[in-house]
Structure 1
Amino acid sequence: MRCLLFLNGKYGEREEIKLDPTDLLIAVDGGVKFLLSRGLLPHIFVGDADSVDQSQLKMLEKSGCEVMLYPQEKDEIDAELAIEEAIKRQAQQIIVVGWKGDRIDMILALIYLMARCKVPIKAVSDDLEMGTVSGEALLEAEVGEKWSILPICGDASKVTLKGFKYNLCEAVMPCLKPFGVSNVALSNRVFISVKEGKVVYFRWRREPL
């Protein structure tokens, strides 16, 4: 089962979410507004409701959505609670949307959560995809796309990159030397292998400004 998390971030004007009938939709607090604007009802609502009107919550409950409310003062961010809930529901893949915005700290926190998650997880938007790799990953790409691969949660060792303009073979990528910025895909499939540590990748679907 695939699970989609809709966060309370910015959604692009061309944001297109392709859904499957078997997808589990989780609205993460204010992310429910995007779903409702598209005429979609989430299966689960997770959050402290600080970005949602009470009328919307009542409507969700009446419509059969499972509403899981948490206190505003807590150690976890809403996205973390939603990821944990998706794992409890035995999600085999997690897609995060609506994650971009002005809160750079929240984006960094999301990257840490993705690095911790044992279930395959990636964050997507209309122009950018990001995910973490520990082990091996064969990822879709388009020739000419800009990619950045950076170590996360410490240095990454024995890193191999294939299908890029700048390939690597079991190289060390130190956190304090971010040389993996602005690589270019030369194939419709790229390969990333990390034998020690983890990396985060940024796939620019459109050329960034």
Structure 2
Amino acid sequence: MKKTIHIVAGGPGELIPELSEYQEENIVWIGVDKGVQTIFHAGLQPGLAVGDFDSIKEEELERIERQVPSLRRFKPEKDETDMELAIMWALEMNPSAVKIFGGTGGRLDHFMANALMLGKFKRDHSGINFELIDVQNNLSVHLPGSHEIKRDGEKKFISFIPIFSDVYGLTLQGFKYPLKHHHVAKGSSLCISNELIQETGHFSFEKGILMMIRSKD
């Protein structure tokens, strides 16, 4: 059975859901910089710590060195972000899914980089599900084809956002505001805050990369 990789970054703690609720078999936890401490505080065991750790106190770093099986420390001056390095390591394990926590809130540049990075990795690794999760939102990225979506009573608002380019042939079935073979331009607000009106819906499109965000108020 393939592993699922859960990556925890150092975003605001109030936006990170209860991580223990996401603990299952075949889960590997990766802590990115301060995210290692978040994993520890949730009573979970990180398998890897990644980052420059410039925001970690010396005694905290000593604990990480003692208790985390694998530590990859980098200089702050580097081409990749700590998150990108963590995802690259995760992909070496050939996972079925990569879920990111602590990647929203705080600095807007970090959030935008994380969200767009998922699109890049999804494009290059189509068989892996990539998701960015916080207490209010689930963000995922999808390639052309047909996709099923189930109703979520908590995060009922669903938005579709083209990234990198326009999306062609978008069809929404089972939604409050359906579409049929629609061309959605990058930057369009057409597909914001839709809702399912059935227990299961479907969306499909022919060309482009589509970001889906499921949110609650």
Structure 1 position 11 matched with structure 2 position 32? no
* Identity level (%): 23
Query: Residues of 2 paired with 1:178 and 1:155: CA distance?
Result: 12
Q: 1:128 aligns with which of 110, 134, 137?
A: 137
Q: CA deviation at 1:64?
A: 4.2
Query: Residues of 1 paired with 2:103 and 2:74: CA distance?
Result: 20
Matches within 5 A, 1:50-199: 50-117=54-121, 118=125, 119-135=128-144, 136-142=146-152, 145-199=156-210
Task: Tell me if structure 2 keeps the 8 A contact 1:149–1:202.
Answer: yes
Tell me whether 181-190 or 137-146 shows the greater mean CA deviation. Answer: 137-146
Task: Tell me if structure 2 keeps the 8 A contact 1:6–1:97.
Answer: yes
1:14–1:178: structure 2 CA closer, same or farther, 3 Å change rule? closer
Q: Secondary structure at the match of 1:43?
A: strand
1:13–1:197: structure 2 CA closer, same or farther, 3 Å change rule? closer
Name the residue aligned to 2:4: 2
Q: CA deviation at 1:14?
A: 7.9
Q: Deviations over 1:152-201 (max 9, x none)?
A: 11111111222211111221110132211111122333322221101111
Unaligned runs of 5+ in 1: none
Matches within 5 A, 1:12-51: 12=14, 15-17=17-19, 18-51=22-55
Task: Tell me if structure 2 keeps the 8 A contact 1:161–1:169.
Answer: yes
1:187–1:10: structure 2 CA closer, same or farther, 3 Å change rule? farther
One-letter amino acid of the structure 1 residue matched with residue 97 of structure 2:
Q
1:29–1:151: structure 2 CA closer, same or farther, 3 Å change rule? same
Unaligned runs of 5+ in 2: none
**How many aligned residue pairs are there?**
206
Query: Residues of 1 paired with 2:68 and 2:36: CA distance?
Result: 14
Q: 1:200 aligns with which of 188, 193, 211?
A: 211
Q: What TM-score comes out, normalization by structure 2 length?
A: 0.88
Tell me whether 41-50 or 99-108 shows the greater mean CA deviation. Answer: 99-108
